[in-house]
Structure 1
Amino acid sequence: MAPPGPAIHPTALVDPQAELHASVQVGPYALIGPHVRIGAGTTIGAHSVIEGHTTIGADNRIFQFTSIGAPPQDKKYAGEPTRLTIGAGNTIREFVTINTGTVQDAGVTRVGDDNWVMAYVHIAHDCQVGDHTILANSVQLAGHVHLGDWVFLGGLTGVHQFVRVGAHAMTGFHTRLAQDLPPFVTAGGNPAEAQGINAEGLRRRGYTPERIAIVKQMHRLLYRRGLTLEAARQQIEALRGEVAEADADIASMQAFLSAASRGIVR
């Protein structure tokens, strides 16, 4: 007797070349293309379209009416076999759209693990989304955007192409983000302005008061002392060694600032 295959609704259209783990569930009227691979325990909602060279890991919950792996919305795209990879444990809600990459970048759009992607979110070509992020309703990521781990983008946030958002950063409702947002920083407005640090998020992730105090000092140096960016970086570097567990946070901030190519939200 042949082993049981995926639980595919009889109205779904799954290409015979697609690779689905035996525990995958596919809802009514879903469409899955030939170059798609889906890992164990993932569920695909009704009317979803998953196409392109797309790899989806284990234990994802993909809701109805999503469009995943469609070609990039880039006029330079000429049909190259670019890719989309999605990790494990993600929740992807209704009407989310995620496109494959372009050869003008690395050729792959990536979404990591344990992300919470709410309805109507768009993740454009070549975006790199880390782990444990929350993208609230109608967040729009233009092409080539990079999000660090634990980023939280408030509803209707729009992120300009090539912008980078550092780990643990957060935006408020209806934020327009056109410059890089450093790690730990909260921002809001149109255009975005820095407002503070994501202290509550850090506490929930186990940061000690002493470690949070160093993050607050970095914020003051960047935003409250009237320093140039280079002068702020020098003083941030001088914080090393005050709290041993915060040295990694200082290194993260310094690496982010040294790579900022669009300027930072000030």
Structure 2
Amino acid sequence: MPDASAAPQRRVPTWIKVALAVFAVLFVLGALFGRSSEKPVAQPQPAPPATTAAATTTPADPVYRVARVDGDVVVLSDTAGISKTVYVPGIQLATDCYGTETATWAANFLTGHEVTLQSVAEQTGRTLAHVVLTDGTDYAVAALQGGYARFAAGTVTDAYAASLRTAEGAASAAKAGLWGPPCNGSPTTPPVAPPPVTVAPPPASTPKPVTTKPATTQPTEDEDTGTTSAYYPNCAAAKAAGAAPLHRGDPGYRSGLDRDNDGVACE
């Protein structure tokens, strides 16, 4: 009987080996991509801590209504009808020169309008504040821009003073309001020079009329003293009258006609 170990072994066909290798590769790929395609489960996020304090909000500035304005003094009334007087720093309004125009403008600009107060401060028993209309217009700046006031330093911050000086400079350059004649930048009326005094010359002394007495003609010895009815201006007249010659003592004789003074005229 032949030995079984000596029998020839059978070989596995090649196609079976290839098929097994393909299945092995597909198995490995499926295992890899199958894990990576799995979606991770979302973990629940921890809830944010509860806010214990409410968000802080800036309270709005109280609104006042202007009851009256007198230069840099503004009388206000709040919503409850309580009156409040504030002084506007940084300006000197015209009260003398250009004062009437300034008072009219200020009344129209503020009276009856709603305003808020900025940079409120207490000083020597007075409330100082910038008065601002609800549209953001600053009363002091507007007064300087229109030439109704001059800048007054000493009670405002440097930043605010710079804005006031800019407004004043614009009005000065434009000769607006009190920057024009006759004020020429002065809120007080310039002194008026007195009119020149004309000293009248002293009245000329009227000379007293000189009363001249009529000269009395003393008759000369060569003139006719008996009568003055005959007068001849010349010898031609005497001859024409038939009176020539005239002898001293005859009517009409006179020395003016007796050239040689021999007592006979108009010979």
Q: What TM-score do you get using the length of structure 1 for normalisation?
A: 0.21
Whose helix fraction is larger, Structure 1's or Structure 2's?
A: 2
Q: What TM-score do you get using the length of structure 2 for normalisation?
A: 0.21
Structure number with greater Rg is 2
Larger relative contact order (Cα-Cα within 8 Å, sequence gap ≥ 6): 2
Whose strand fraction is larger, Structure 1's or Structure 2's?
A: 1
